[in-house]
Amino acid sequence: MTAVSQSAATGALSGIRVLDMSRVLAGPWCGQLLADLGAEVIKVERPGSGDDTRGWGPPYLKDRTGNETHESAYFLSANRGKKSVTLDISKPAGQALARRLAAQSDVLIENYKAGDLTRYSLGYEQLRELHPGLVYCSITGFGQTGPMRSVAGYDFIIQAMAGLMSITGEVDGKPGGGPQRVGVAVADLSTGMYATVAILAALFHRARTGVGQHIDMALLDTQISMIANMNMNYLIAQRAPRRMGNAHANIVPYQVFDAADGQLVLAVGNDSQFGKFCAAAGCALHQDARFRKNADRVRHREVIVPLLEDIMRKRTVAEWVALLEPIGVPVGPINDLAQAFAQPQVQSRGLQLELPHPLAGTVPGVANPIKMSVTPMRYESAPPLLGQHTQEVLGQLGIDEGELQALAREGVI
C-alpha cells in the first residue's frame, strides 16, 4: 500500500485544463486518467445530487467515526484528482458560467445525448466560435451520427449489441451456459481510454496548428473494435464465433483446468511451451502427430483437452505453479480480489494507494498502471466532495463572495 500526499512532481499534462462535464464511467474514467497525467480537471456536477454514481451504493466510504458517508465506492473509483464544481446548466446563469469555464479550458469532455448541449449554447460549434483551440470530446452510446444517435446507451446494452456477450460465457448446454456480460463495464472503460488517446492526439495536433477539434466517441464503436481477433475470425471465416467458456478459439491448451485442490489457468502460447509443459508433466503428448503444432491441437481440441484434464488433476495448484512458472510455461491461480491485492508482485508495484480525504482521513484507491520515468503519475487529491471546489474555481473567474451567495440562492450553484 502506498501512502500519497501532495506531490511537487510535474505531470506530463501540467498546464492543461480539462472541463469534465461527463458522469457515470466512460467520461469520468477519461478525466481521471488525464488528471493522473497532471492535467487540472474540473468536474461539473448537478447541484444537490451530482454525478449519478454518487448514489450507486452501497458500499459507501465511512468517515472517521465509522459512519457511512454519501461517497460511494463507485464514484470514488473514477474521479480521483478532480475539482468538483456544482453548476445548473439548465439556467441561463449556469450556462454563462459553463461557457466562461470552457473558454479557459483546453479540453471539454461531455456525455450528454448527441447534440443535447446545443440547447444550452454549449455545443461544439457554439464553443468553437468562442475558443477555436478547444478540444471537445463527446462520448455517447452510439455516436453523433446514424439512426441510433439519439438513443441512450449503457454498457450492458452495448456488450449485448456489439456481440461481446455472444462470445462470453459457458458453452451452451453446460451448467451455467449462455451469454454473459464481462464482470466490469468494459465498454465504458475502453471508451474512456480510447477517448484519452484521441484527446492527447488532438492536443498534439493543436500544438502544431493552434486548431482544436471535435472528437466523436461511441461505446458501440469501441466495443466492436476491441473484439479484435474474434472480429477477424468472423470476417475471414464468415462464421460467427461461438461461446467457448474459458477456452481460446485459436490456441490449445489455453483455458481453466481443475487441479487436485482447485482451479488454475494454463495458457500455452506456442509449441515450445507445449513441449516444456509435457516434459515437466511427464507425458509425451507433444510427440503425437495430432498435437505437435498449435494448429493440430486446435483441430483436435476435443481429443487433447480430456487427456490434459486427467493430467492436471494429479497435482495441486501450488505444485503446478511451482513446476511450470520457472521453466516459462504460463500458469496462474484464479484469485479473488483479496488474493490479487495480497500478491507480493502487486504490492511491490504500488497498485494500492491511500489518499487524504476530508471526511474519512484517508481513502483507498488503485494506482494508474502507467509508469513514466520523467513525468510520473500524480495523485494529488482524493475524489472530491460534491461542490468542494465551486468557490475556488468560480473565484478564479472573478466572481466575488456576494455573487456566489446570490448564485447559490438562485440554485445555479
From the candidates 51, 188, 216, 221, give the one annotated as an active-site residue. 188
Give the other-Cβ count within 10 Å of 119's Cβ.
12
> 40-45 and 82-86 as β-strands: parallel, antiparallel, unpaired?
parallel
What are residue 190's phi and psi, to 5 degrees?
A: -70, -35
Instruction: State the DSSP string of 23-57.
Output: -SSHHHHHHHHHHHTT-EEEEEE-TTT-SGGGGS-
Composition of the chain by helix, strand, coil, percent to 5: 40, 15, 45
Nearest Cα neighbor of 69 from 54, 89, 91, 90 is: 54
In this structure, what is the dihedral angle of CA atoms 22, 23, 24, 27, given to the nearest 10 degrees?
20
Cell of 143: 455516436
Which residues contact residue 305 at a Cβ distance below 8 angstroms, ignoring those fewer than 6 apart?
Answer: 247, 252, 253, 255
Distance CA 207, CA 229 (A): 35
- Orientation of helix 271-281 relative to helix 317-324, angle to 10°: 120
Residue type, 66: G
Q: How far apart are CA 60 and CA 57, in angstroms?
A: 6
Cα distances from 252 to residues 242, 295, 307, 400, in angstroms, run 16, 8, 12, 67
In this structure, what C-alpha cell is assigned to residue 259?
487441479
51 an active-site residue? no
Check residue 262 and give left, alpha or beta (phi > 0: left; psi -120 to 50: alpha): left
Catalytic residues: 188
